[in-house]
Amino acid sequence: MKAVMVMFDSLNRRYLPPYGAADWVHAPNFARLAERTAVFENCYAGSMPCMPARRELHTGRHNFLHRGWGPLEPFDDSCPEMLTDAGVYTHLVTDHQHYWEDGGATYHNRYRTYEFFRGQEGDPWKGHVADPEVPDSLKTLRGEAWRQDWINRRYMTREEDQPQTLTFDAGLHFIETNKAEDGWFVQIETFDPHEPFFSQEHYKELYEHGYDGPQYDWPDYRMVRETDEQVAHVRYEYAALLSMCDRNLGRVLDAMDEHGLWDDTMLIVCTDHGFLLGEHGWWGKAVMPWYDETIHTPLFVWDPRSRVRGERRASLVQTVDLAPTLLEFFGVGRTPDMTGVALRETIADDTPVREAGLFGAFGGHVSVTDGRYVYMRACADAANVPLAQYTLMPTHMRARFQPRELAEAEFVPGGAFAFTKGAPVLKVPGFAISPAPHGTLLFDLATDPDQLDPLVDDSLELRMISMLVEAMRAADAPAEQYERLGLPARGPATEAHLLVRKQREEAETAAGAAPVDPAEFPDGPRSVHAPIRELFADAAAEAVLRELGLGRLVDGGVAKMVGDTSLLQLAALAGGLLPATALRAVADALAALDTDPDADPAGDVAAHGVRA
């Protein structure tokens, strides 16, 4: 038996023909794939975003209630490692640069062998001291990743030099080399169509649209401020990169045909999550609720045992089910810590495996769906506390935990969580963008598939709360998550736990608020216009920001990603991190440094939810 997984990143199912894409999207091989596989209508991601999703692929269980972005933990099960230990040859080919960062460095070593191809999304690859030439662009965040990406692009002028192409080349080489052997699993994983949406001209020519504005293929994660023409242009850029993905998918299908692999080889085609391309007035993911376009994912599976092809599956499944599915295919039992379920019978005849799907990101909304209704639970209080990370691998995406973060850490004895297998863990105070500005949301996908009209229905909300609490308990959620969300850690949910109606007016007010005008704020080196990195390099400004609870912007590794961003820009990206009222108070506090160094700036700010 053999297995091939083709994994994409940020694959929005609404751009795929099998899921109802517009007829202008050129993706014939995804249509061809649907004819050869079981197509899942109700697949949902779980722990968000990229690396938490991959941790689920290894462990078969949710992790976002306990941990943000981070490596595999010493106590984690790993599906590829379990397969290797059982005698299955496992191989990873990928251009996903996060595997080689602090927050992802324990994943690729779980495969017997692996290959990595450089250059995606500002990957620190080619070294150029001189700054690159960069065209006029609509992109706001222009930090180190932006600079590096323009250096990297100089080495990708041909399609054959693109990391996506090299990844598929390597995966197909593995298949060609080992087609006559038995007992192997290869994961062909590309970072595309994740932003930036960089592809060669012949893919862009599939989507001619007469755009002559500034360069724009890398939108920031924020509310849409662009014109309709500019939004359409970004969507076409995404579609062009998707068409490149489609071409390489076709190469895998060709190999399956050529080598007769359909007879004994499982094929899984999946993604970690989707991407908002202007829907709901947002770009990207993570800083807004996990709407359908981002969390309701495509999934295609061919199982040579049942040989189901060209059929739809309506059962609710999740990313956590993929590890148990692979293990079962190779005759390896899942561990007691895996909450996912093998999909063999679901593929064969649509046998249900769950009533509820749990999803979310650390410190954000905690959401649940039954396949029709979607309930997104926000924090009960705007401060979004308490919140803690549980880990034995204290790293963020691109940084180690800082001593300041660890100063308040405490050891939690082994046995507190069953999935740590008796190991104690560090409990470290956590930090996340508050979901409070969006409020708690409830949707009916049967009548409102685009999630444009949130419901206010107390009886339905109470049913969904009960489903959510049950799912959280099954995931062994820590006590502070129930407190943060205003939910019962024990006992039944009651009407006292309802939040939709309570938070609706405030959320609608926040949604309708006008964007902040930079001209309203004082300028200067100590101001909300200055890069965050420069503010924290100024001892007086740093002291003020720490006093106001914003120290986690650097202590939590955020500065590695947005250090070149101003507080003004950060507020535009994530209102739950720095609301407009709090931004004005911070601006006044920084300005007071120059006029009254002895003033206490904290008093006026605490009321605005800035403290972390």
At 346-389, the pLDDT tens digits run 999 999 999 999 999 999 999 999 999 999 999 999 999 999 99
- Cα distances (angstroms) measured from residue 9 to each of 57, 157, 179, 297: 13, 22, 26, 11
Burial class (CB within 10 angstroms; exposed 0-12, middle 13-18, buried 19+) of 447:
exposed
Q: Which secondary structure element, helix H or strand E, spans residue 202, and what is its range?
A: helix 201-204
Return the higher-pLDDT residue of 558 and 434. 434
Q: Which of 413, 418, 500, 424 is closest to 462 using CA atoms?
A: 500
Cis peptide before 196 (omega within 30 of 0): yes
pTM, full prediction: 0.95
At 485-516, the pLDDT tens digits run 999 999 999 999 999 999 999 888 877 777 78
- Cα distances (angstroms) measured from residue 416 to each of 68, 100, 424, 582: 19, 31, 8, 37
Structure tokens at 42: 């109700």
Backbone CA torsion sign across 449, 454, 458, 462: positive
At 196-232, the pLDDT tens digits run 999 999 999 999 999 999 999 999 999 999 999 999 9
Residues 6+ apart with CB under 8 A from 385: 480, 484
d(CA 237, CA 255): 28
User: What pLDDT shows up at residue 509?
Assistant: 82
User: What pLDDT shows up at residue 514?
Assistant: 75
| Every domain range in the chain assigned CATH 3.40.720.10 | 2-349
At 126-175, the pLDDT tens digits run 999 999 999 999 998 888 999 999 999 999 999 999 999 999 999 999 99
Mean pLDDT of 270-289: 96
Arch. (CATH architecture) of 2-349: 3-Layer(aba) Sandwich (3.40)
Backbone CA torsion sign across 129, 130, 135, 138: positive
HSE-CB of 167 using CA atoms within 13 angstroms: 29
